Structure 1
Amino acid sequence: MTSSPAAVGTASSAAGVAARRSAAPAGPRPPRRSTPSTQWAAVAFAAPLIVYLVVFYAYPLFRNIELSVHDYTIRAFVQGDAEFIGFEKYADVFASSAFPTALVNTALFTFVSIAFQYTIGLALAVFFQKSFRLSGVLRGMFLVPWLLPLIVSASTWSWMLNSDSGIINSVLQSFGIGQINWLTSPDFALTSVIIANIWLGIPFNLVILYSGLQNIPGELYEAASLDGATGWQQFWRITFPLLRPVSAITILLGLIYTLKVVDVIWIMTTGGPGNVSTTLAVWSYREAFGTGQPAFSPAAAVGNLLILIALVFGFVYLYLQRRQEES
């Protein structure tokens, strides 16, 4: 069967086009231009997040800064004619006799709480890593402090540490130890709120660290066992190094949360006696709502200092994370 000249010409031209395409150098295709419809779709998906950030983060932060640089009394707050005073309230905060005590208490409350929360949470996570009977039930029981409302937990600790009728003093007296004024003594008030906060934060560390442990391959532990590594050596050479990224974010989140703890301290000691257990967060709350004469501007100034401290630790974490990725 013979082919027509037209068919032969069409076939040859198609073969030429294919040859030219195969001979052309392969390279990245030019990026597709986004059409207006896709751009509007992207804006629609991002709009709820942008609105959320503006309403619940950007505006409150702006409002807090605005409060701190104006002299807001109750009358000025209602009428909206507060006088601009610049950084005068910040200077008053730094010059206050309560500032050094609140700063030291904040540092002690934060770092002691985080150190014990992380250590105990990590120990429990490693303990629960090995499956055994009732493991799930026990893990669920450790989550109870995390699930309870903070006002309930703080009230429970206030009752247990009560000087006259608290269960802790009753147990101590059965061992011949005299009465301890946990919540009213200058020597024990800060220790009491730290103990309560440690108890509240252990479940969070347990959950996050336990999840991180599940991502460590079991083959590493099997190989280490065959090489004769003890359980302690496996922890220091395998578990702890591989858990470092999870530990970093756990400590950062715990630090940010602990810096702003108010309810536990306020319910248990209201920052007293005196300023013995007053932190920066409690001081800010007391200035704004804890007295009969709200001082919104000093409260906002102290709150902005807390935000600045949290930002510093956040940037330190990002810097260390970047160095770890580059190394």
Structure 2
Amino acid sequence: MRTTAKTVGEPRSAGDAIDVAPSAAPRGGSAVLRRVRTTRWAAVAFVAPLIVYLLLFYAYPLYRNVELSLHDYTPRAFVQGDPEFVGFDNFADVISSSAFGLALRNTAVFTLVSITVQYAIGLALAVFFRNNFRLSGVLRAMFLVPWLLPLIVSASTWSWMMNSENGIINSVLGAFGIGQINWLTSPEWALASVTIANIWLGIPFNLVILYSGLQNIPDDLYEAAALDGANAWQQFWRVTFPLLRPVSAVTLLLGLIYTLKVVDVIWVMTTGGPGNASTTLSIWSYREAFGTGQPEFSPAAAIGNLLIVIALVFGFVYLYLRRREDRA
């Protein structure tokens, strides 16, 4: 009888080959599943710190602020932990207060003037620095100084400069024959004074963001516009401004949110005075909670929630406009 030699590991028949294949498939499938599970756990590990941070420093404070505004929290209630639930009474008291209308008007003027002038000056500087020249880097770094200084230091400096008696601004104006201006103590000038200081503080932010946006506009477009006979203003209006619109929208939105909650600059310079001449909603909220020695935490939280609602409204408007623009 003739026999045929078989190599080691060679299946003796077709059935043997079929039996071997299924045993290998589960091993490969389990390895794939292990890799998928490992990838998922790695993703969870990377996202977990962010989720914990958002819960601790955003979600929980927001929940506590809403709870404060819906209860009547007094120092005694904080100690004993039994505040009375009053619903929306705190919001009704705030809105019906005689100080609400003036604080809302001051907030609107302070915010709109600040972000408009900051954006205009920041955009002009960004366009100016787009053409690299000698010492442009040094000058850009110098413009960042207001952004790097602590806000209390900047506000204190502006308070000294605007001092009615010996401030440098009145000294310069006096050299041109302009009389003394009570920047910080006059109801007519107090809001303008803190607005000027806030504009100075916000220009570097606008400059940095808009300058970065300008770097993404190809030089070929400016060359083509120049060949078509467009002057500098036409190039800005037809090329720069339209292509910078998405960056401009983000810059204005962030500036709006930041300006709505400005407290330190106004508090250091005028404490919202004289009277309520420079009192904004954020200053009113801070004063109710910490500025009088008789804290009213629930009305302060209600005012803060109103500011959050205003910011959310503008945020949703921005998202709506972006979606409509993307669909178009």
The TM-score, its normalising length taken from structure 1, stands at 0.89
Aligned to 2:323: 322
Aligned to 1:267: 268
Name the SS for the 1:169 alignment partner: helix
RMSD between aligned alpha carbons? 1.7
Aligned to 1:13: none
Alignment of 1:27-46 (within 5 A): 35-46=36-47
Following superposition, the deviation at residue 35 of structure 1 comes to 3.9
In the aligned structure 2, how far is the partner of 1:117 from the partner of 1:207? 12
Following superposition, the deviation at residue 103 of structure 1 comes to 0.3
Alignment of 1:236-251 (within 5 A): 236-251=237-252
- Consecutive unaligned residues in structure 1, runs of 5 or more: 1-31
Aligned to 2:190: 189
In the aligned structure 2, how far is the partner of 1:84 from the partner of 1:274? 32
In the aligned structure 2, how far is the partner of 1:227 from the partner of 1:38? 54
Aligned to 1:145: 146
Amino acid at match of 1:144: V
In the aligned structure 1, how far is the partner of 2:214 from the partner of 2:255? 18
Q: Residues 33 and 105 (structure 1 numbering): CA distance in 2 closer, same or farther, change over 3 Å? A: farther
The TM-score, its normalising length taken from structure 2, stands at 0.89
Amino acid at match of 1:249: V
Q: Is the aligned partner of 1:199 residue 2:196?
A: no
Alignment of 1:65-84 (within 5 A): 65-84=66-85
Amino acid at match of 2:171: S
Following superposition, the deviation at residue 36 of structure 1 comes to 3.4
- Give per-residue Cα distances to partners, 1:108-139, cap 9 Å, x unaligned: 00000000000000000000001111111111
Aligned to 2:104: 103
Aligned to 1:216: 217
In the aligned structure 2, how far is the partner of 1:311 from the partner of 1:78? 33
Following superposition, the deviation at residue 44 of structure 1 comes to 1.7
In the aligned structure 2, how far is the partner of 1:37 from the partner of 1:206? 44
In the aligned structure 1, how far is the partner of 2:59 from the partner of 2:262? 21
Amino acid at match of 1:300: A
In the aligned structure 2, how far is the partner of 1:115 from the partner of 1:33? 55
- Consecutive unaligned residues in structure 2, runs of 5 or more: 1-32
Aligned to 2:165: 164
Following superposition, the deviation at residue 50 of structure 1 comes to 0.9
- Give per-residue Cα distances to partners, 1:246-270, cap 9 Å, x unaligned: 0000000000000000000000000
In the aligned structure 2, how far is the partner of 1:282 from the partner of 1:317? 26
Q: Is the aligned partner of 1:288 residue 2:253?
A: no
In the aligned structure 2, how far is the partner of 1:43 from the partner of 1:129? 42
Following superposition, the deviation at residue 174 of structure 1 comes to 1.2
Aligned to 1:174: 175
Name the SS for the 1:185 alignment partner: coil
Following superposition, the deviation at residue 286 of structure 1 comes to 0.3
In the aligned structure 2, how far is the partner of 1:224 from the partner of 1:164? 54
In the aligned structure 2, how far is the partner of 1:317 from the partner of 1:213? 21
Following superposition, the deviation at residue 51 of structure 1 comes to 0.5
- Give per-residue Cα distances to partners, 1:174-208, cap 9 Å, x unaligned: 11111110001010000000000000000000000
Following superposition, the deviation at residue 46 of structure 1 comes to 1.6
Aligned to 1:14: none
Amino acid at match of 1:214: Q
